[in-house]
Amino acid sequence: MNQDAVELRRTPLHALHVELGARMGPFAGYDMPIQYPTGILAEHAQTRTRAGLFDVSHMGQALLDGPDHETTARALETLCAADVVGLSPGRQRYTQLLNAEGGIVDDLMATRPEGHDGRLFLVVNAARKEVDFERIGAALPQNVRLAVLSDRALIALQGPMAERVLIPRAPRGAIEQMKFMTARALPLGGVECHVSRSGYTGEDGFEISLPADRADAFARALIADSHVAPIGLGARDSLRLEAGLCLYGHELDETIDPVEAGLSWSIGKRRRIEGGFPGFQRISAALTKRPQRYRVGVKLEGRAPAREGADIVDAAGQKIGVVTSGGFGPSVGAAIAMGYVPRQAATPGTLLGLVVRGRILPGRVSALPFHPHAYKRD
């Protein structure tokens, strides 16, 4: 084992991944499962048709606690463009931490737990959590406190059978009543959990925060269900790509604003008028005048994929962008990619080329998502 491997951090489920035969690899400073013996295609199909268990314990979890909801929410609103004040108890919201120029420091989920006035539960990306928590902590007023939850695991159960799997483990009716982007504290199989109906695969599913020392037994109980199988980072990436979802460090970074990234829907109506968040002038101008570049999907004509970093060219062969994420979409049955192109080339149906090993692979701008979302909204 080399020195880099020794320094990688481990999640509470690391021993289980190794026991199950996962091929491990570094991701965001952690030793994470890339795939299991069945392979990425089987794991992808498992999640689309049944249920997949994902270890996302490497992500950052934290609480913001203040004297009341408005105080805590307005403290977070100084860093992001979401309407956090208007967040109802038991609801969660997707947003982005912004820098002074309106660029995206990270994207995150903010939840207002039921029964805890003045509290917000945050989940941020693993590679950015130290940056995020330092930034948030430095911006808070004295009566709002940030508490990083380093003793929690996070498990995602995703797929059309996720609800069926959790129902017998929860109080009667509790799981069925939850809709997309709702959250509640629930005992699952005797373990007190924070459960949200959300995820990053485009499928219906749940993210479950629980004590780290209960995670191994909890995960083993779930994968003992015939409908559930463990899923690695390889399939997680193909699933989120088909769902047209951004990944920090690929589609998002500190030079890109939410409007360019196609995330205008996450900017609250009140915030668009009142401002009060970093980069308001740039983002307001982008909302009214439209930005010069947009994140787009590209569907290639063949099955050969174009990976991150491949040049995007126009019909005349001139470089106009770079692929931020790309691969073969098993559920789509085609090679797909995302990247940023000038506004004039962002219309669905526009002919583009992706350069792979000196060859231009033809494709067209595709509306996102590539594969329809299956969230439970009703």
203-246 per-position pLDDT tens digit:
999 999 999 999 999 999 999 999 999 999 999 999 999 999 99
31-47 per-position pLDDT tens digit:
999 999 999 999 999 99
- How long, in residues, is the chain? 378
51 close to 226: Cβ distance less than 8 angstroms: no
Q: What is the pTM (predicted TM-score) of this model?
A: 0.96
- Return the residue matching tokens 């992808």: 44
- Judge if the upstream peptide bond of residue 369 is cis by omega within 30 degrees of 0: yes
113-130 per-position pLDDT tens digit:
999 999 999 999 999 999
pLDDT averaged over the chain? 97
* Buried residues in 311-343 as b, exposed as e (16+ CB within 10 A): bbbbeeeeebbebbbbbbbbbbebbbbbbbbee
169-179 per-position pLDDT tens digit:
999 999 999 99
* Of the candidates 102, 85, 101, 84, the residue with the CA atom closest to the CA atom of residue 93: 84
Phi, psi of 342 (to 5 degrees): -60, 155
User: What is d(CA 314, CA 292) in angstroms, rounded to the nearest whole number?
Assistant: 16
Name the percent of the chain lying above pLDDT 70: 98
What DSSP assignment string belongs to 225-263? STTEEE--HHHHHHHHHHTT---BTTTB-TT--TTTTT-
Q: Give the domains, in start order, of the chain with CATH numbers.
A: 3-58+151-242 (3.30.1360.120), 292-378 (2.40.30.110)
Contacts of 130 (CB under 8 A, 6+ apart): none
- Return the axis-axis angle of helices 233-242 and 40-49, rounded to nearest 10°: 60
What pLDDT is recorded for position 201?
Answer: 98
At residue 2, does pLDDT exceed 60? Answer: no
